[in-house]
Amino acid sequence: MNAVVNNALQKTDIPSDGPFTISGYGEATPVKFTQAGNGKVTLGDMDLKVTVRKKDGSSSALGTFTAPCKQSSGQNNTVQDFEVTNDPGETIPQQPVPPYFPYQGQDEPAGTLNYNFNLAGKSHIKMANGDADLKGKIGVNVDGKTGAIKGPLTLNKSKGNFMILGFLYVTADIDFEQIGDTVGTYSDGVIATTSTMNIKLPSFNLFGTPIPLGGGANCKTTKPSEIKMGSAPGTFFNPKKGGAYTSPDYTIASINDCGPLTGILSLFTAGAGNTINMNLTP
């Protein structure tokens, strides 16, 4: 049978890192049993209404939100085992009611969280079999209620060392030009974002020489790249500490207006299977 339980959780300070325990108290509607025997109380999925405040007790940007708690597979959800008897005189001792029950607080509207990060890492270009160093910054606003992310991403101009035709080493200047804001979500400690960028290639030179192979002010991809990035799978991303920010696969379109060797250069820059591995540092 199902029982309705009125719960309240004790006000608890959140540590800077690691797990923590929250005490709670609840009262259920009375239940009558028609026969003696063994019984147990189990807990299923539940939704928690959470109000997050700053250390001084003032309102935070997270406000009040609902946090759904789903039971993990194989998790022991037994709250209590008990024995039902025919003895009318046997009673269960009443637990003392804590001062935080019932909850008397007020809901607070969620606000916006603001974070700024430096970026540093590399992008591997599959067809060119080479890497380009990446550095830059990103500033994001995070909706305290929905976790929606929005903000500008800026990548510095870079250089990449590549190989074309299997033997020709080439150095390329690379300029990532973002279109609009980076958008996505931060939910359950996981970042998932999408950035849309034109990729400009102002110059291609033979490695270690000033000999140009192509490039120019108009040399760029024929359409923007949609780059999906996120935090490390299975790892809780703490925005106060930063961490990995990667793209396991993004596509670069063909290039245009890069000089007489545009066709050949495009063969060794365009395609899928490119990766990005960076770190976010607050």
Model confidence pLDDT, tens digit, residues 205-249? 887 667 778 888 899 999 999 999 999 988 899 998 999 999 999
Residue 177 token pair = 């030009």
- Reported residue count of the chain is 282
- Cα of 147 vs its chain's centroid, Å: 9
Chain segment 57-90, per-residue pLDDT in tens? 888 888 888 888 888 888 898 988 988 888 776 6
Nearest CA to 221 out of 264, 181, 182, 177 is that of 177
Residue with the two structure tokens 């591997």: 124
The span from the CA of 12 to the CA of 71, in Å, is 22
Identify residue 178 by its one-letter amino acid code: Q
User: Cβ distance 231 to 259 under 8 Å?
Assistant: no
pLDDT along the chain (282 residues), means of 10: 84 86 88 86 85 86 84 87 79 83 85 95 91 94 92 92 76 91 93 95 80 85 95 91 95 92 85 96 96
Other beta carbons within 10 Å of 9: 16
The span from the CA of 24 to the CA of 70, in Å, is 18
